[in-house]
Chain A
Amino acid sequence: MTARVKGIVLSRVGGLVLLNAVFIALVGSYNSDFVRVANFRVIVDNMALDAVVMVGTVLLLAAGRFDLSIDGVAALAGIITGKLLVETGTPTALAVAAGLAVGLLIGLVNGVLIERAGLNPLMTTLATWWASTGIALGLTQGYSPFGFPDSFTRLGQETFFGSMIAVYYAIAIIVVAAGVLVFTRFGYHVFATGGDREAARLNGIRVDRIGILLYMFAGLLSAAAGVIFAARLSTASPVAFDGLALDVIAAAVIGGASLNGGRGSIIGGLLGLLLLNMLGNAAIYVGISPYWQKAISGFVLLVAVSGDVIAERVQRSEWRPWRRRVAEGA
């Protein structure tokens, strides 16, 4: 039992729970306003849509892939939905479906180009990010659509028990996706594909099909975030999501996902996202200029990545400086 407790504490999720708790305690002891329920509601409301997108990113990273087109897909889906609602009077359900379809389509394009045509994932998703952002800008010509019907804005502005509806969307998506990743054969195959693509293929796993499905899922979640955000703000902006892809990749990596694939945790990613959001929020409470927020987030990411490498090397006995010192001393 002791070993099990030790294992949980030393695991990435356990470590992040501890780190988040220590962070809350430290900032809370400096300024008690930080630990007010109302403040945590703001933090959680703000990170809900990022969490939706992060789920797709964790799955992709676990399978040894990644997607930089997230920002562009979210923006384009919001713009398409918004323009259909405002300019053509399309019913809300159809307009939302069209926005989500855009995400699925871009995900499919990413997946087929990378998995079947063998294009480089970095350049492919950079290109589709560029293209989708460009299309969003071109469609709006700088004028963001607004004046959406209530049936649409309710999708992003309703609150339940004091929290935005997006929080509940995020919880539902996280629970389902985490369950699929941890308990189903598909989840096992995602990790196997990321761990060793060729070994997975030789064992009968359709690695290309898994990749395409994951790119489509990530595209769908990005589009959902874009549509919900447009509903929340009552307007759709082509630049509303700039930097989102790197933020969620950073959160996923802090949460234990590996850029080399084979590792990743949705709960870990959520805790990483919480930490990054709390950093930004806490800066206000401790009197640090918000302009320093990116620098602090970068430092945290660097510590997480370095800590990961050091822990792995120590575990594998590849890097034991005390041994070297003994040898040198002798």
Chain B
Amino acid sequence: MSAHAEAETLLEARGVAKRYGHVTALRGVDFALEAGETHALVGDNGAGKSTLVKILSGAIAPSEGSLLVDGEPVAFAAPEDAFRAGISTVYQNLALVGCRNIAENLFLGKEPTRYGVVAKAQMHREAAEMLAGLRQMNVRDTTAKVEDLSGGQRQAVAIARGMHQARRILILDEPTAALGVQESHEILNLIEGLKSGQRSVLIVSHNLAHVFRVADRVTVLRGGLRVGTVRTAESSPDDIVRMITGASLL
């Protein structure tokens, strides 16, 4: 444990809570993402996973608690602030604009420009390169509108965008939910590739096989509370299931 304690903490949430009127989605959760690690966030539906992801990515503000990047307190007023801190997120709803084409979605909000004009040719060229690593997804025509793509192809576009934009941290909320076996395998390979590139990954998933394949540590949430954080090398899927369901507390 002492060897792990030396790892640099990149992103940290301290006592984070989120309330929507009378409903409390998160209750004072602590969370830490270390440099170069892949960290999985698991829990049942309504555990607060997506809420925590949205707070870490600047999509919503916490009702209580604080965020730290490199040990320094930060306040994300908008997703753009998190992006500036090197955090890129692939949301569960994918955050794609259906009526725009693939290249425009891959560069959404961050379009390259030349003399104030969007560099369309550059955008399509780089978009094709970004998608080249996702061969199983069969997404090639960067001029195709996203609304004309299948669910899996849309997920591929969102993941390609996240991977391209993530300078330090990539957050993936259910990245393999709409994918088949081959496509999931490809995404997991890409996540492993990110780790070798020294980028940290936070992955939210219901699939414990996927979690144990790519994650170094797992944090379990239940009912808006953090149940615990364990190393995958020192635990089993059954341990995680017990933490998710609460059986270990009985």
Q: Which residues of A contact B (CB under 8 A)?
A: 183-185, 187-189, 191-192, 194-196, 198-206, 262-263
The 8 Å CB contact of A183, one of B94, B104, B117, is B117
Task: List A contacts of B22 (CB < 8 A).
Answer: none
Task: List B contacts of A188 (CB < 8 A).
Answer: 100, 104, 111, 118
Cα–Cα distance between A217 and B98 once the two chains are bound (Å): 26
Cα–Cα distance between A185 and B89 once the two chains are bound (Å): 21
Interface of A is mostly: helix
Residue-by-residue, is B102-115 near A (CB-CB < 8 Å gives 1, otherwise 0)?
00100011110100
Which B residue sits closest to A202, measured CB to CB?
B95
Which of B79, B95, B99, B104 gathers the greatest number of chain A CB atoms within 10 Å? B99
Which of B83, B97, B98, B117 gathers the greatest number of chain A CB atoms within 10 Å? B97
A198 contacts B95, CB within 8 Å? yes
Task: List A contacts of B111 (CB < 8 A).
Answer: 185, 188
Is B78 located at the chain interface by the 8 A CB criterion?
yes
Is B116 located at the chain interface by the 8 A CB criterion?
yes
Cα–Cα distance between A329 and B74 once the two chains are bound (Å): 66
A191 contacts B91, CB within 8 Å? no
Q: Which residues of B contact A (CB under 8 A)?
A: 57, 59, 78-80, 83, 89, 91, 93-100, 104, 108-111, 113, 116-118
Cα–Cα distance between A183 and B113 once the two chains are bound (Å): 9
B117 shortest CB reach to chain A, Å: 5
Which A residue sits closest to B116, measured CB to CB?
A184
A195 contacts B59, CB within 8 Å? no
Cα–Cα distance between A204 and B98 once the two chains are bound (Å): 17
B37 shortest CB reach to chain A, Å: 25
B108 contacts A183, CB within 8 Å? no
B100 shortest CB reach to chain A, Å: 6
Task: List A contacts of B118 (CB < 8 A).
Answer: 183-185, 187-188
A47 shortest CB reach to chain B, Å: 28
Cα–Cα distance between A23 and B88 once the two chains are bound (Å): 52
B98 contacts A196, CB within 8 Å? yes
A196 contacts B109, CB within 8 Å? no
Which B residue sits closest to A201, measured CB to CB?
B79
B195 shortest CB reach to chain A, Å: 25
Given contacts A191-B100, A195-B97, A262-B99, contact A202 B79 (CB under 8 A): yes
Cα–Cα distance between A196 and B118 once the two chains are bound (Å): 20
Cα–Cα distance between A201 and B58 once the two chains are bound (Å): 10
A206 contacts B97, CB within 8 Å? no
Task: List A contacts of B100 (CB < 8 A).
Answer: 188, 191-192, 195, 262
A199 contacts B96, CB within 8 Å? yes
Task: List A contacts of B99 (CB < 8 A).
Answer: 191, 194-196, 262-263
A196 contacts B117, CB within 8 Å? no
The 8 Å CB contact of A204, one of B80, B96, B117, is B80
A196 contacts B78, CB within 8 Å? no
B97 contacts A199, CB within 8 Å? yes
A114 shortest CB reach to chain B, Å: 19
Task: List B contacts of A205 (CB < 8 A).
Answer: 108-109
A184 shortest CB reach to chain B, Å: 6
B189 shortest CB reach to chain A, Å: 25
Which A residue sits closest to B148, measured CB to CB?
A316
B169 shortest CB reach to chain A, Å: 15
Given contacts A184-B118, A185-B118, contact A204 B97 (CB under 8 A): no
